[in-house]
Amino acid sequence: MFSLDTLLVLVVAAPLAAAVLTAALGRWYLRRHAHWPALVAVAVSLAAAVALAWQWSAGLPALPAEEHHAGQTATEHAQHEEPTQPEEHETAGERYLGREHVVVLWRWAAVQGAWGTPPFVIDVVLRVDTLTCLMLLVVNLVGLLVVLYSVGYMHDDPGYWRYFTYVALFVFSMNMLVSVSNFLLLYVFWEAVGLCSYLLIGFWFQRPAAADAGKKAFLVNRVGDFGFALGVFLLWSALGTLNFHDTVLPDGNLVPGVLGQHWLSMPVPYGGAWGSRVAVVVACLLLFVGACGKSAQFPLHVWLPDAMEGPTPVSALIHAATMVTAGVYLVVRTAPMFLVSQSAHLVVAAIGGLTALMAAFIALTQTDLKRVLAYSTISQLGYMFLALGTASFAGLAAGMFHLFTHAFFKALLFLGAGSVMHAMGGVIDMNRFGGLRRRLPLTYWTFLLGALALAGVAPLAGFWSKDAVLAAVHTRAMENPLGEGYLYLTLYYTGMVTALMTAFYTFRAVFLTFHGEERLPEEAHGHAHEGPWWMTVPLVLLALGAVGAGLLGGPITDWLRHTPSLAFAARLTGTGHHGFHWQVAALSTAMALGGVALAAWFYLAQRQLVASLAETFRAAMLYQLSYGKLFLDEIYTVLIVIPLRVLGWVLFILDQFLIDGLVNLVGYLVRALGGLFRPLQTGLVQFYALAMLLGLLVLLASMLRWPLG
Amino acid sequence: MTTWLIVGAIVLGAVALWLLLPRGRKAGRRLGAVLGAIALGMLLATVPPLGGWFTQGLFWLLAGLTIASAACTVSFRNPVYCAVWFGLTLFGTAGLLFFQGAQFLGAATIIIYAGAILVTLLFVLMLANPRGQAAYDRRAWEAPLAATVGVVLLGLFSTGFFSTLKAMPQQTPAQVAAEKRQPPGKYAVSALGAELFSRHLVAVEVAGTLLLAALAGAVAVVAQHAQPGQVIPRPEGTVPPAREPNEVTVR
Amino acid sequence: MNEQALWLGYQLVAAALVALGTVGFLARRNMIVMFLCVEMMLQGVALSLVAWGRYHGTLDGQVLVLFVLAVAACEAALAMALALMLFQRRGHLDTAACFRLHEPGQEVQLVEQVSAEGELEEPEPEPTWPHLPPAGVEPQRDPEQEAYRSHV
């Protein structure tokens, strides 16, 4: 059938073609049918991605058998400062560094030896490995379902064609983001998805709140992207290349890629290329700043809740399932650097754990259904980073696995919220409706499944992935009881508390929305009902995913080992044992069930207790803190926005009076000089003739031989 | 003596011109005419004797006629009179040319200038301003200044001529050539024609082309204004008759 | 004949014509009269050239005058066309009233003054019409028609 190269190009080209087509024809020709290009293109992309994954998996070698002690030695290996000698007893399994395939499309830039640097060559190059395949599958699957859902959800919006243009463009950008094999192109499409996010958050730009939210998302992302850009610069100046893969030049020389086999297979990866340990750490942290911005981690998480001003399917696709996981993808992709740095991952883990806890705490009291889900997204992303922060293969794989399952159940929850919003005439405040389970039975059941998955109740998807995350952290904590172990142990218990809170706020939302006495807002006009089949089919399909995706944990973990970055991690830290962590599982299940039970008690049985509980916490300021989102927006305003405004005002004054004054002074001088001669320009022909004649007289007089006689 | 004559002619001429130029007042015009005549006489008196009394008299007559009518051209208020006086100037000039032996040029001046150009000019004058004596004809622009500049120019020229005359050889190059028995009749019309159509043939053709271009240009300039159906606003200074509308439609 | 005296006399007459033309060009405001003055200057130049030609015993001066004549004819044609256009558009031939080239904001008081004073001059006498002896039918007179010609 198709070759790998063709499939890879097809995956990214189809949405681009759809975007261009819809942009060109959508407004005047496609109109009500503007969804067809996007729908077909994303379906084609998904089919191509499936075929790609299938073909790629078929060509993979069997995983080498792993020796039991490998993890142990490799961990020690990593903890030694400078392991100088290649270890003689390395087995074949430890040497396996995954498999990748790159397609060079064309050369984008080539600057030869400017300023004495190595040649700056950027090829447009796509890659295939299992990590890319997994991301492509997630993006296109969720993308297809969301496009399907949007057909019903957006059906009478005046910007129908615009919406599908943006979505197609987003799918293209995201596909490129996960399949390019170069940091610069990664940065380009990192910005491209940010642009699509901005456009879609501000989709209803007539609403000031939406426009402001778009601006906020863009500006906060700038902070992160600035860090990312600095990280890319540092990579370039330290390693002299930005490619992930090794490149063999026509003259036979090898340009080792940042994540290529050449460096990864060395006993001391990167050797002295970095110059110092600090440089690696700084590069990792700068890249992580970028990841924080895109994946809404503390302290750059503030844009994500506001991003819920966009259309709900967009929240599901971009701000829950795909784009916000770009940061996770980035960290997993660059995992070898984090592993080599030996300390940057601690920051990742700490930020992840802190974000998870903080976002869950804020979500406890929010009354906006979509905001609850937004904070839950931040919290779950925090889980993923917590897993990545363990800097072990098990943790990385668990992070990706959580990303995978989270995409299903969070998209499901958002689409369910969209369904509620659709039925409620645009109202999303949980105080204004309730008891909808008889009105929206299908939404209720699918939402409930999603909520169970999010809460981590066995045997749904969230349970398995969250368990894998917590298990990885627990393992890491137990490996080295001293030093780092304390941090990981703290984070482990933080994760457990977060799990409890997650279950509580999730089911608080479920009970407030679907249980209790039936209340409908006026905007619903009394005819609250399920959406058309365009909207219900994606719900059902996602619900199936939310239930069943967890079973894929083992296969995905093994599959991911074929990715070079992760294979390197596996070589360095071992794969961890696949066994089920009974202790962790039991504790997290207890937490989840406890949270659900607590929510049921407060919001089903004894709702009057809620007020008194809130009063109790209000006394301790906790309620206000949670409800006010820790007042981070206000703190940012005071610390950043107001000083910048003052600075801007000062500069404005300077510009107005000093700079403009100087410029005006020059103008006035020239004008005054001209004013001396201005009266001469009378416009009178005779005057001009007279002037000419006077000149002629002077000329004549000078030509005569004086004195006469 | 010559110097004082020139200076006197200049000063008197300036005063005379100032008095003669239209100033919005009649007073002093006669005085100006008298002063102008004296200045003219002083100017012509500087010329050394030419030869016999007839020659001398003819020269004085022609020169006086030319300059006096030129002064009238400049100073008369009615532009039609100006044109007529200019015609007289042309006749004087033509006479001077004949006097020099340039017969063809003399005839051409009368035919082309007086016959064609001046008549065209009179046509235009009649078409444009039949009544004459408009406000702008009665009042000169800075008459004293203009008169001063003009006579200073004349003074500088005369000074230059006299100094040139001083440096001249006893015999003119023409006389020298005549003594060497070059063929006479150089001033005849035929000689001029031969000269024109041999050495200056290309220039003659170019001049002809120039005339054609000027003809086309003049037609284009005048014709561009009048397009059928176009509405021309009435000129500001003109008074509309009671029966006509305030605009004129070109038919 | 005293050739040198003849030369001098011609040059003086030529200079006088040029000077008078200059004075006229500067002082007169009627465009057509200004044009006449320019022609007068050209005549002066022609005289001077012919005199120089006689002095040198060649025909170059006369040839040059012929070309001056041709150029003057062209100039006359174009200048008259332009004068007509000016009169059609403006209703007058006053060059002092055409000062659009002036610097904005520069008051051209001179022109206003000149025009105003020009109006103050003694009123024009009524035109006297010839008195026809009563023979045949007297044509009907339209005073407006006689006093005014709408346009060229």
Which CATH code is given to the segment(s) B2-182? 1.20.120.1200
* A106 and A123 Cβ atoms separated by less than 8 Å: yes
Percent of chain C with pLDDT over 70: 72
At residue A613, the pLDDT reads 78
Q: Which of B152, B153, B159 sits opposite A708 (nearest CB)?
A: B159
Residue of A nearest to C98 (CA): A684
| pLDDT confidence tier of residue A578, bands split at 50, 70 and 90 | low
Contact C80 B138 (CB under 8 A): no
B100 to chain C, any CB pair closer than 8 A? The answer is: yes
Contact A697 B3 (CB under 8 A): no
Q: Which domains does chain C have, with CATH numbers?
A: 3-98 (1.10.287.3510)
Q: Which of B83, B100, B142 sits opposite C51 (nearest CB)?
A: B100
State the average pLDDT over residues B29-51: 91
Percent of chain B with pLDDT over 70: 83
Residue of B nearest to A689 (CA): B146
A24 to chain B, any CB pair closer than 8 A? The answer is: no
A364 vs B224 pLDDT, higher one: A364
C26 to chain A: which residues are within 8 Å by CB? 686, 689-690, 693
- Give the amino acid at A701: A
* A409 and A470 Cβ atoms separated by less than 8 Å: no
List chains adjacent to chain A, taking adjacency as at least 3 C-beta pairs closer than 8 Å: B, C
Contact C25 A686 (CB under 8 A): yes
Q: What is the rounded distance in angstroms from the CA atom of residue A170 to the CA atom of residue A319?
A: 12
Looking at CA atoms only, how far is residue C131 from chain B in angstroms? Answer: 20
Instruction: Enumerate residues 108 to 137 of chain B having a beta carbon within 8 A of any beta carbon in chain C.
Output: 108-109, 112-113, 116-117, 120-121, 124-125, 127-131, 133-137
ipTM value, please give it: 0.85
C101 to chain A, any CB pair closer than 8 A? The answer is: yes
B202 vs A319 pLDDT, higher one: B202
Looking at CA atoms only, how far is residue C6 from chain B in angstroms? Answer: 6
CB pairs < 8 Å spanning B and C: 338
User: Which pair of tokens denotes residue C137?
Assistant: 């039918």
Looking at CA atoms only, how far is residue C87 from chain A in angstroms? Answer: 17
Residue spans of the domains in chain B: they are 2-182, 183-226
- pLDDT higher than 60, residue C96: yes
A705 to chain B, any CB pair closer than 8 A? The answer is: yes
Contact C73 B145 (CB under 8 A): no
Residue of A nearest to C108 (CA): A682
| pLDDT confidence tier of residue B239, bands split at 50, 70 and 90 | low
Contact B149 A697 (CB under 8 A): yes
- pLDDT higher than 50, residue B230: yes
State the average pLDDT over residues B119-128: 81
| pLDDT confidence tier of residue B244, bands split at 50, 70 and 90 | very low
| pLDDT confidence tier of residue B132, bands split at 50, 70 and 90 | low
A689 to chain C: which residues are within 8 Å by CB? 25-26
> What's the pLDDT tens digit per position in B190-210?
888 888 899 899 999 999 999
Task: Give the contacts of A128 (CB within 8 A, at least 6 positions apart).
Answer: A4, A8, A52, A56, A100, A101, A102, A103, A179
Looking at CA atoms only, how far is residue A680 from chain C in angstroms? Answer: 9
pTM tops 0.80, yes or no: no
Q: Which of B141, B149, B156 sits opposite A701 (nearest CB)?
A: B156
Question: φ and ψ at A121, to 5 degrees?
Answer: -120, 125
Contact A681 C101 (CB under 8 A): yes
Largest CA distance in chain A: 133
At residue A43, the pLDDT reads 94
C98 to chain A, any CB pair closer than 8 A? The answer is: yes
* B46 and B176 Cβ atoms separated by less than 8 Å: no
Looking at CA atoms only, how far is residue B40 from chain A in angstroms? Answer: 22
Looking at CA atoms only, how far is residue C50 from chain A in angstroms? Answer: 22
Q: Which of C9, C13, C84 sits opposite B128 (nearest CB)?
A: C84
Instruction: Enumerate residues 51 to 70 of chain B having a beta carbon within 8 A of any beta carbon in chain C.
Output: 51, 55, 59, 63, 66-67, 70
Contact A683 C103 (CB under 8 A): yes
State the average pLDDT over residues B178-191: 66
At residue A68, the pLDDT reads 44
Residue of B nearest to C24 (CA): B74
* B86 and C44 Cβ atoms separated by less than 8 Å: no
> What's the pLDDT tens digit per position in A147-205?
999 988 888 888 889 999 999 999 999 999 999 999 999 999 999 999 999 999 999 98
Q: Taking all residues of chain A, what is their mean pLDDT, rounded to a whole number?
A: 86
A694 to chain B: which residues are within 8 Å by CB? 149
Q: What is the rounded distance in angstroms from the CA atom of residue B43 to the CA atom of residue B38?
A: 9
List chains adjacent to chain B, taking adjacency as at least 3 C-beta pairs closer than 8 Å: A, C
The DSSP H or E segment spanning A127 is: strand A120-128
Q: What is the rounded distance in angstroms from the CA atom of residue A301 to the CA atom of residue A299?
A: 6
Looking at CA atoms only, how far is residue C112 from chain B in angstroms? Answer: 11
Q: Which residue has the tokens 């063999």?
A: A248
Contact C106 A693 (CB under 8 A): no
| pLDDT confidence tier of residue C49, bands split at 50, 70 and 90 | very high
Contact A700 B149 (CB under 8 A): no
Q: Which residue has the tokens 């906060």?
A: A220
List the alpha helices (DSSP H) in A83-182: 92-95, 130-153, 160-179
Q: Is A593 left (phi over 0), alpha (psi -120 to 50) or beta?
A: alpha
List chains adjacent to chain C, taking adjacency as at least 3 C-beta pairs closer than 8 Å: A, B
> What's the pLDDT tens digit per position in C71-84?
999 998 899 888 88
* Residue B225 CA neighbour count, 13 Å, CB half: 18
| Whether the bond into C104 is cis, omega within 30 of 0 | no
Highest mean pLDDT: which range of A260-274, A345-359, A475-489, B165-179: A345-359
| pLDDT confidence tier of residue A634, bands split at 50, 70 and 90 | confident
A618 vs C54 pLDDT, higher one: C54
Contact C73 B67 (CB under 8 A): no
A208 to chain C, any CB pair closer than 8 A? The answer is: no
Residue of A nearest to B153 (CA): A697
Question: φ and ψ at B48, to 5 degrees?
Answer: -65, 165
- pLDDT higher than 70, residue B228: no
Q: Which of C22, C29, C99 sits opposite A682 (nearest CB)?
A: C99
| pLDDT confidence tier of residue C110, bands split at 50, 70 and 90 | low
Interface test with A, best of B136, B139, B141, B154 (most A CBs within 10 A): B141
Q: Which of A678, A683, A693 sits opposite C99 (nearest CB)?
A: A683
The gap from C-alpha A386 to its chain's centroid, in whole angstroms, comes to: 16
> What's the pLDDT tens digit per position in C122-151?
555 666 777 766 676 666 777 666 665 555
A690 to chain C, any CB pair closer than 8 A? The answer is: yes
Question: φ and ψ at A122, to 5 degrees?
Answer: -120, 115
User: Cα-Cα-Cα-Cα dihedral of C78, C82, C83, C87, to 10°?
Assistant: 160
Interface test with B, best of C6, C17, C18, C20 (most B CBs within 10 A): C20
Percent of chain A with pLDDT over 90: 38
B184 to chain C, any CB pair closer than 8 A? The answer is: no
> What's the pLDDT tens digit per position in A531-554?
788 888 899 999 998 888 888 888
Q: Taking all residues of chain B, what is their mean pLDDT, rounded to a whole number?
A: 83
The DSSP output letter for B76 is -
Contact A683 C101 (CB under 8 A): yes
| Whether the bond into B241 is cis, omega within 30 of 0 | no
